[in-house]
Structure 1
């Protein structure tokens, strides 16, 4: 139990498993399994979060290390991620299979309530949002929003997430959703002590419950 407590403390501090080889008497495989379990607990909480209503910002980005060859949405090795943030509130971020209207609308319908006020960029995939609620499209010039409207909340989260995940280069694709869920959980509880929250999750969650969450098919 003392070993798990120590590993939990290191996880909360954001110390990757590979940096603990001289600090722990556990094997690398054991540390990775424990960290994966913690991330799966975070993922389960995030999956059960209620759909957003009110003012919601939407955006998409890619995660993955720099590679030679094609850049942008079709770059090899990149994971496309769709994000939603409630203004001055919580965030959701999910890997999507393609950068297209079908993929983003599926997540919007699942994670927001009809009648919401949507803030997006000018991507045409968002054009039908006016059928679901109010829609404010942010126009940009030289990367900056024109006027007072913005999507600074979700763009700020992308910066937060990428900075947090930077030490974890080479995350296996089938586990990326767990790392992403961990970042969402940390962001959504950024003003709280994570150690008691995660300890409670570990005690009340069974491995059987987490089975479908642990691995996502590539």
Structure 2
């Protein structure tokens, strides 16, 4: 029996989603649900691919792998977490990960739309 993540992909993504994966067989059925699958073949030492030649590597799975490394490093000091509370720790990590994009200018624009402040 083939192990697949197809049901989870269908529940958590939109039908128009492009899924970026490695060559694992667990992802083979993703296109069956109408979702596009782009792969890199780690066994052939391919880790990123520039499909259109513009110098930007469109196909890779490094971002998600990097997030998982960050989550593991975030959880390490807690030395074991009960699965009942894991979602709370993941939510806390997600909040802190997304917070890195918030700076003073973002907050100023959020709290004081252009019609309410005067440039300095």
* TM-score, normalised via structure 2 length: 0.64
* Residue 173 in structure 1 maps to residue 83 in structure 2: yes
Q: Following the alignment from structure 1 to structure 2, what is the Cα–Cα distance between the partners of residues 165 and 144? A: 30
Distance (whole Å) between structure 2 residues aligned to residue 177 and residue 143 of structure 1? 34
Aligned residues: 92
Q: Relative contact order (C-alpha < 8 Å, sep 6+): which is higher?
A: 1
Note the C-alpha offset of 1:143.
Answer: 6.6
Unaligned runs of 5+ in 2: 51-58, 104-120
**Which has a greater percent of strand?**
1
Aligned pairs for 1:96-175 (under 5 A) are 100-101=3-4, 104-131=5-32, 132-141=34-43, 145=47, 147-148=49-50, 149-175=59-85
* Residue deviations 1:114-142 (CA, integer Å, cap 9, x gap): 02211111111211111222211210148
- The structure number with the bigger radius of gyration is 2
Name the counterpart of 1:73: none
8 Å CA contact 2:21–2:39 kept in 1: the answer is yes
Report the alpha carbon displacement of residue 185 of structure 1 after superposing the two structures with TM. 2.4
**Unaligned segments of structure 1, at least 5 residues:** 1-99, 194-218
**Alignment RMSD (CA, Å):** 2.3
SS in 1 for 2:20: strand
